[in-house]
Structure 1
Amino acid sequence: MDQHSPADSDPAYELVESYGFFKLVRARASGRYYVSWYDAESRQTRRASLRTNKPSDAHEKMRFLADLGITGDPAEYLNKKQVRTVAELLDDDWETYLQKLPSAEAAGIARDILKREMGEKRLTALVPRDYDAFRDTLKAAGKSIGYVSRILSVFRSAGNRALANKQTTVKLKVPEYQPRSKKKGLKKKGPLLTCEEIAAIIDEINDAHLLLLMLLLIHLGARVGALLDAIKAQIDLEQNLFDLNPPGRETTNKGRPVLPIPATLRPWLAELPDGPLIKYRGAAIAEADTAFNSAVKHSKIGPKANTYSIRHSLARYMRKKRVDLEEIGIYLGHGNHDPENETTLIYCPWEPDYLINCREAAEAFVREINTHTRKWDLLRPYCVKPSWVEN
């Protein structure tokens, strides 16, 4: 039996057009449009209202369902707010995400400029010349290419979130106008450090919570904000995984990946209590720069280092160990991966060799630092070395 034959023969509904699994039908009495499909489990034809009498709206909603490639009850997707224009995309993203960012003011400016210049354009109709015209308009107003790039990054992020949330089926191809040579010349946020210099900083730490933070930094290369947000529930010792994105937090381009727990870090995590990982006097801390900078100052290592220095130094160490750049990028949580098209999918969290090269390099990094520490034994939680003599 054809799965749509019951709907086709129902005298109360007129078949308008087929869209793969679904069919568009129109109620003869009211003129209202419905999506119709055959439910094999109940052996019945089912329908859901498209809430419109306009043919153009009905066909657009049907194309949306067809492009999503879903089968079965489409109610979840019909209830989603479908974004069709640049203005709709940015308005929805502003309410749900952008206004919560620390950079909300800059994001709001970018949103207003994009809406002013491209707001009425449909996402499905955007072509390279639209972006080129946007670039040329801002350049004519005296704006730099870097400024144009930052504005378009807001648009790119909004489009990626709408696609992930199934509010659109359009994969925006937003060009990057910032020259690669310019990006490659950008200064790092913190200078590179040797293992000896990192060891010297660690030996100047006296508080247990800062020592744990430092151990997490040299193992995971994570951003400090992610570690200060982290709670015990993000650690799965059974699967040996550390999910750097806390429950309920929306994923952003500054990715917080799921990482394998290095063998040298595991003892530090095994007995942690519930709640925030980094606590001082029983409460989570908001920042660690002051204490870290103090340790750097007392270490007398010379160059001005910060917490980003640890991240960059671990990445450089991994490259020295010949770890593939793509794997390092996943480990460090670099954004803009397209989960449908990139080979990053081969690194599945449930596979035993998930990011194994990065994990082994991180372990070697920590072991090498430990050969230079005079006070703290990094392989034994919170233990000083037997040879340590306090000055």
Structure 2
Amino acid sequence: MADWLVEHAEKHLADPTRYANSIAHWLRFFRSERQAGRLTGPPTVSDIKKALVERFISLRQSEGASLYTISRDIAALRQPLNWAWKDERIESAPFVPDVKGKPEGKTLVYTPKQIAALLDAARAEPDREHIALLIIIALSTHGRIEAILELTTDQIQDGLIYFNAPGRAQTKKRRSIVTIAPTLAPWLADLPDGKVIQWKKPKRNRTTGKLEYELLPAGSVKRAFENCLLAAGISAVETDDLGEPVWLPARKKLGESKPRPKLVGLGSPNTLRHTCSTEMHRRGVPEAQIDTAAGHSGDSTNKKHYRHLRPDYLQDFIAGVESFWADVGQFTTAHLRSHSDPKIIPIGAAKASRSKKKS
């Protein structure tokens, strides 16, 4: 569990602290199991059985933990086991049942106004500017976040984004080919070769003393996206396992005299994908085109290999995307290339520029 927390959760999950708390509850539970004689030593994979999980659930319920909290606690056991199995550290992962009676949560999506606030927050700081491009690509393509982070300029050709890189085998999480929407096109027209999503690492010039920035591929956007959420006001007060607010000590250097509530951002980069799907359905985009952009389509091999060559490929989807950006435009201009760069590239020229580069 500790390996999973350090090697996976802290790098990829939006709030690893909550899972660290859950793991602490499991370690406490395992100690009590040993004291009761139900475990003869440190727990092993073979010890993880339904009866053990049910005893843990009973313990947490007796402590007043909510069903949502207990479900997260159980995930803090299930996910490390599945991770270890996929990483070939264990031969198999046992089934870990969830707590019963937990109501289904509502999928979070962002409104156009919230997207505008997120973009403004991203454009406000140089080391967060890459989040703006991530947002614009995600909401213009329905692309998976991991596919966007791995996207290179070589995968942008002839007005299309090929999310599945050449030589990469498709998995069950299929990566699609998506037409470049007019709002997105100028952002992709003159990128430096290599990874599309690159962040600006600040560093001080030893000679001039001025702050400079080094462009580096973004391996993870978890922290930067969280900072954008907080800056945009898309947040809530964090609560502990009993539902009480978590308080942070006053920052005396900033003149604070009282504790302040700890805020956490609402959602994650994956919420952008849910938002895109929701907005496209709301705008009447045909289901088949939404599924195609998302990589969910199950058409024949011929259609998969050649349909992106059709002049009407994803036509309604792109119209829906532009309709969404028009709504965002009621609150900001941060999604327009002219907002940050006076060099305006016409849509046709942008596509030609990228095509020329590949030829």
Q: Please report the RMSD computed on the Cα atoms of aligned residues, expressed in angstroms.
A: 3.4
Residue 10 of structure 1 corresponds to which residue in structure 2?
A: none
Q: Separation in 2 of the partners of 1:255 and 1:242?
A: 14
Task: Quote the Cα distance in structure 2 between the aligned partners of 1:361 and 1:224.
Answer: 20
Measured in 2, the distance between the counterparts of 1:186 and 1:294 equals 28
- Partners of 1:191 and 1:305 within 8 A in 2: yes
**Secondary structure, counterpart of 2:171 in structure 1:** coil
Residues 1:108 and 1:186: Cα distance change in structure 2 (over 3 Å): farther
- The answer (yes or no) to whether the contact 1:216–1:227 under 8 Å persists in 2 is yes
Decide whether the 8 Å contact of 2:183 with 2:335 is kept in 1.
no
Change (3 A) 1:112 1:214: same
Matched, 1:360 2:277: no
Preserved contact between residue 160 and residue 178 of structure 2 (Cα < 8 Å): yes
8 A Cα contact 2:85 2:91, kept in partner: no
- Inter-partner Cα distance in structure 1 for 2:282 and 2:136: 21
Give the alignment of 1:126-145 within 5 angstroms. Answer: none
Q: Which residue pairs with 2:84 in the alignment?
A: 105
What is the TM-score with the length of structure 2 in the denominator? 0.52
2:300 aligned partner: 339
Compared with structure 1, are the counterparts of its residues 216 and 381 closer, same or farther at alpha carbon in structure 2 (3 Å cutoff)?
farther
In the other structure, the counterpart of 1:369 is: 328
Q: Residue deviations 1:276-328, cap 9 Å, x none?
A: 11112232111001111111111113461211221111111111111122221
User: How many angstroms apart in 2 are the aligned matches of 1:283 and 1:346?
Assistant: 33
Identity %: 26
Is 1:382 the counterpart of 2:340? The answer is yes
Please give the alpha-carbon distance, in whole angstroms, between the structure 2 residues aligned to 1:224 and 1:249: 17
SS at match of 1:251: coil
1:299 matches 2:232: yes
Partner residue, 2:114 = 197
Q: Deviations over 1:263-282 (max 9, x none)?
A: 11111111112111111223
TM-score (norm 1): 0.48
Does 2:136 correspond to 1:215?
yes
Give, as a single letter, the amino acid of the residue that structure 2 aligns with 1:320: R
Larger Rg: 1
CA contact (8 A) 1:231 1:277 kept: yes
Partner of 1:272: 191
Structure 1 gap ranges (5+): 1-101, 115-137, 147-184, 385-391
Aligned to 1:284, which of 188, 193, 217?
217
Q: 1:106 is matched by which residue type in structure 2?
A: W
Structure 2 alignment gaps of length 5 or more? 1-80, 200-213, 237-265, 343-359
Q: How do residues 98-247 of structure 1 correspond to structure 2 at under 5 angstroms?
A: 105-107=84-86, 187=105, 191-205=108-122, 206-207=125-126, 208-236=129-157, 239-247=158-166
- CA shift at 1:383, angstroms? 4.5
The answer for the alignment partner of 1:132 in structure 2 is: none
Aligned partners of 2:144, 2:161: CA distance in 1, in Å? 14
Q: In the alignment, which residue of structure 1 is the partner of 2:274? A: 312
Q: Between the two structures, name the one with larger relative contact order (CA 8 Å, sep ≥ 6).
A: 2
Count of matched residue positions in the alignment of Structure 1 and Structure 2: 212
In the alignment, the residues of structure 1 paired with residue 142 and residue 109 of structure 2 have an alpha-carbon distance, to the nearest angstrom, of: 13
Partners of 2:319 and 2:280 lie apart in 1 by 9
Change (3 A) 1:103 1:233: farther
Verify the 8 A CA contact 2:161 2:178 in the aligned structure 1. yes
- Separation in structure 2 between the aligned mates of residue 327 and residue 357 of structure 1, nearest angstrom: 7
CA deviation string 1:306-360 (max 9, x = no partner): 112211111111111111222211111237x2635xx965970100111111111
